[in-house]
Amino acid sequence: MKRTLRTIALGLLLVGAATAVRADDLKGFRADLVGQFKYAQKQILDLESSIPDAKMTWRPNKEVRSISEVYSHIAFGNYLFGKFAGVALPQGIAVGTAEDGMKWEKASTDKKVIREQLVKSFDFLEAGIKNISDAHLEDMVTIFGQKMTVRSVLLVLLSHMHEHLGQSIAYARMVGVVPPWTAAQNAAEKKQK
C-alpha cells in the first residue's frame, strides 16, 4: 500500500512540475521537457544541499567519482549537451574535450562552488531550451559520433541527469543521508500513525 501511495505521489509531482512550466507559454515537447528537467533539478539541488561538507570527497572506491565530482559532472554535462543542442555557451565555459570535463570534476570540493556551478548550468539549460524553436528540434546533429535530432540530444540530457541523480541517491545513502523528499514522506507517514 505504501509503495502504491508513493507511486501516486510521484506521478502527481511529475504532472505538477510539467503543468507549472506550461504557464511560461511553452507547448508540446519543450514544455514537457522543461517540466521534467525542473523536477530533476530540484531533486539534485535538494540532495546536494543535504550532503555534509565533510562527505563531499567520499567515493565508494578510488576508481569512481566522488560525491563532489558527480555534481560537477552533472553541471559539465548540462553545458555539454546544451552545446550539442545548439545552445550558445556562456563566456568562459569550455566543454570541448574530455580533459575539460576532468577539470570541472577536480576544480572544487566546496559545496558553495559546486552549488553555484549546478545552478548556473541549470539556468543556462532552461533558458536555452525555452529559446530553441520547435523546428530546430528536428535538426540533425552529431554527438559522440552518432547522428541524432536535437530532440534526441535533449532526451539524452534528461537521461544523463537522472542517471547521476540515481548515483547521487545511492552515494547519499552510503554516507548516511536520507534523500530529503524521502525523509519528508517518512515523517508524514509517521505522523499519520
Classify residue 133 by burial, with Cβ atoms within 10 Å: 0-12, 13-18, 19+.
exposed
Mean pLDDT, rounded, for 29-58: 96
pTM, two decimals, is: 0.85
Give the pLDDT score at 22: 42
Task: Identify the band that residue 26 occupies on the pLDDT scale cut at 50, 70 and 90.
Answer: confident
Q: Which residue has the higher pLDDT, 101 or 12?
A: 101
pLDDT at 16 > cutoff 70: no
Tens of pLDDT, residue by residue over 154-171, are 999 999 999 999 999 999
140 DSSP β-pair partners: 149
Domain that holds residue 126: 2-192
Tens of pLDDT, residue by residue over 96-108, are 888 888 999 999 9
Give the pLDDT score at 13: 53
Give the pLDDT score at 20: 45
Tens of pLDDT, residue by residue over 28-41, are 999 999 999 999 99
Task: Share the mean pLDDT of the chain.
Answer: 88
Q: What is the CATH number of the domain that holds 27?
A: 1.20.120.450
pLDDT at 181 > cutoff 80: yes
Number of domains in the chain: 1
- Residues 117, 159: contact at Cβ < 8 Å? no
pLDDT at 143 > cutoff 80: yes
- Give whole-number Cα distances, 156 to 114, 120, 150, 151, 193, in Å: 22, 20, 10, 9, 42
Mean pLDDT, rounded, for 85-94: 93
For residue 93, which of 120, 129, 65 has the smallest C-alpha distance?
Answer: 120
Angle at 73 between CA 78 and CA 180, to 5 degrees: 90
